[in-house]
Every structure is written in structure tokens, then in C-alpha cells.
Structure 1
């Protein structure tokens, strides 16, 4: 079944934003997208409206449509919510994960290990996403999973750049092991705390985040 053009455009743009082809603050050119897809502006407009609703894009009157660029405060607020949602997923997974769920978590953890050992932050970023999503699925709460996926997509451009900080991949990998071990042991308190510590931006990670935003501003100003 062929997807409607508006849906194909939305999915392609969402993937491009999440994968870092577009950066926070970048302008989206509707005419170029329409030309690329050989379509009118109508499906492009529908796709952009859907991405605006999801929080990935923001429309600025008389200026255009841009990839959402959050301030440090806005990011902190979203990471706080993300930490709680992911911690809840991890806690539920301790009680509800079946054998297939645990295998999916182990498989994604191993993929993370391989990417980390290769020193490939881009590959690790993709495997990291799969690891987290395996835990969302293991919580067996479709509404929580959908809401967590939505916020994950919004924060992915920032989480991706965080992984480029020196030593962050290795620290992230150690945190993943602690989360997976706690879920395997069925220790919901430990899993929840380990996930909160993993996601929440604080201390040196907060300073790295501020530096990252400064870097983005400098790149766009240039």
C-alpha cells in the first residue's frame, strides 16, 4: 500500500531531523520539498503542520518554518519529564517484561556495546535509540510508550549531540548496563533510579548541554 504524499513527506522530514540532517534552528524550505516530491504545496503544508503539532517544528509568522530550537530552560524541563517517563517504563518493565522483551533489551544492549567499542558515536546513537525503545515496549503500556516516543523524537537532535561529548559514549554504555541488569533482576527501584540518572541532565552534562547550544547558535550566526 502506497502511503499518501503528505505522510511520506512527514516521515522523511521526521527522520531527517532525528538523524541530524537538520539541526535545531534550521529553516525548512517548503518549495524545495514540493519540488523534491513533485507535488503541490498542499501535502507539504499538511506534513509541516503534523510536525509542528508533534513539537519538532515551529512556525514563525512572516519568517517561515524552523526545526524547533529549545532554550536551556526548555530543554531542562523536557529532560525532567523524559527522565520520569523513561524511569516509569523501566520500572514497569521489571514487572511486565516477558522473555521476548528481555531478549530485545539484551540484543540492543549488545549492539550498543559493539558501537561503543568501535568508537562510532553515530552508530551508537542509533543503537541507543533502539535500546530505549525496547524498554518502552517492555513496559506493556501503549499510551505511555506513545507519549515517551513522542518526547524522545523531540529530544533526539540534542541527545545525539550529547553523545559527541568526549567520553560520553563510554559513560552512557555503563549506565545502559546498570539499567539492563536491574530490569533483568526485576529490581524496579534500581531500574527507575538508574534510568533517571541516565536521562536527567545535570552536573557536567548540563555544562556540556549549554556549550552545545552555544555551538549551534554560533554555527547558525555564521
Structure 2
């Protein structure tokens, strides 16, 4: 959805159905670890946190189950699934393809203000990463990609990315970045920004596909390494 005068994305309307708002809050809370991977959420817990009745909570959970983000257990609430290599591969296949498509479209709407905001998100990401603040880095990275996805002007595609990205973000918070990945992701971000500044949507899309592929590989390697370390201990 777009403001026709300034061509900027607008947020979910405040009067959207309660279940829609609960669903978005659940995704945010899964991504930030409020509801951890493998953790259980009871209906009473969810009602208390989001200040709504069971009906919108149940509807939000049903939608997220359809997205593969939670697993429902009748009369017992829901569980956030554990993430493995197969799931991460599927998630990043979706993210890479859709982000590439949105980037191609976003270049037609980018303004200098948008570019400055994107640069600011990347500066916060770099600062957090350099300071060892994984939570801050994940948040800044999500803000950068979320803004760029919004500028692609396809809310359905953006929503698909957000549901899958929540699980990827939750995993990244747990396992962090490998030493080689930190330099690589910074370089990819700068290459992406350069393509956007030039208005080269195809180059931006290619960077994003490579970005998703290497993020997937690093996450899987980190996940397997953490699992091996836990087994050894």
C-alpha cells in the first residue's frame, strides 16, 4: 500500500482485525526470542501478553500454523518449532527469491530520503556487529530488509518473507555470526546499497539472492556447530 504523493510504504492500519495485530506481534516476539524456538505458548499466556480474548489469539495461531511458524496442540496452546538445516534451506529459498523481486521494483520508488534511512539502518547494523551486540545487529538487519521489502510495493510478498524471516532471526539470535560472515555480510550490504543508489534493480536482486544463500549456509553451519558442542558437553 502506498502514499501516492511520496511513494512510501504505510504500516498496518490501526483498525485492522485484532487477530492480524496479534499475528504481527507474535512474529516480532518469535524473532526477538520472547517466545523461544522449541518453547510452548499457552492461550492464557498469549491473552495476557497481547491484551485480547482467546478468539483473536486462536485465529492468529491458526494463520501462523498455516505459515509453518508454530505447531498447534489442541487445548494446550502452541509450540514454536525447532529449526534445522532442511527448514532453513526452505526459508531462505523463499526469502532470496521474493526479496530479489521486491528489490527490482523498489528501485523505481527510491528517494534520497529512503536511501539515507537504509544507510542509517546499515550503520546501526555494523556498529552492533562490531560491538558484539547480536540482538541489536539482528534488529537493525531486520529493519533494513523490512524497509526495502516494503518499498517493493507487494504486501503479499512482504508478508510471506516476514513470516519465514522470524524463524531465521530467532535462529541468528541463538547462534550468532561466524567470524568470516561478519565481513561478508557487510560487503554484501554495501554492494546492495550501491546497486540501489545506481537504480540497478537486477544487480540488487542478484546481491540479495547471494546474500540469502550465504546467510543460509552460515546459519546451518553455526547451528550444526552449536549442536555438536552441546552433544560433546
The bucket for the TM-score relative to the shorter chain is 0.7 to 0.9
Q: Give the match's secondary structure for 1:23.
A: coil
Q: Give the match's secondary structure for 1:152.
A: helix
Q: Which is further off, 54-63 or 126-135?
A: 54-63
Change in CA separation of 1:103 and 1:34 when aligned onto 2, cut-off 3 Å: closer
Which stretches in structure 1 are left out of the alignment for 5+ residues? none
CA RMSD of aligned residues (A): 3.3
Runs (4+) of structure 1 exceeding 6 A deviation are: 1-5, 215-218
Residues 2-57 of structure 1, C-alpha deviations (whole Å, 9 max, x = no match): 99876665454333211012222211122344466787644543443343234321
Distance 2:56 2:17 in 1: 8
Which stretches in structure 2 are left out of the alignment for 5+ residues? 1-13
Q: Which is further off, 37-46 or 198-207?
A: 37-46
Q: Does 1:112 align with 2:125?
A: yes
Q: Does 1:189 align with 2:197?
A: no
Q: Does 1:90 align with 2:103?
A: yes
Do the aligned residues in 2 keep the contact of 1:18 with 1:157 (CA within 8 Å)?
yes
Q: Does 1:160 align with 2:178?
A: no
Q: Give the match's secondary structure for 2:174.
A: helix
Equivalent residue pairs, number? 217
Q: Which is further off, 195-204 or 183-192?
A: 195-204
Residues 136-172 of structure 1, C-alpha deviations (whole Å, 9 max, x = no match): 1232333333333333234321243353444533432
- Higher helix content, 1 or 2: 1
- TM-score relative to the length of structure 1: 0.77
Residues 200-215 of structure 1 correspond to what in structure 2 (within 5 A)? 200-201=213-214, 203=217, 205-212=219-226, 214=227
Residues 156-192 of structure 1, C-alpha deviations (whole Å, 9 max, x = no match): 2124335344453343222211111111122233222
Change in CA separation of 1:38 and 1:61 when aligned onto 2, cut-off 3 Å: closer
Q: Which is further off, 78-87 or 89-98?
A: 89-98
Q: Give the match's secondary structure for 1:65.
A: strand
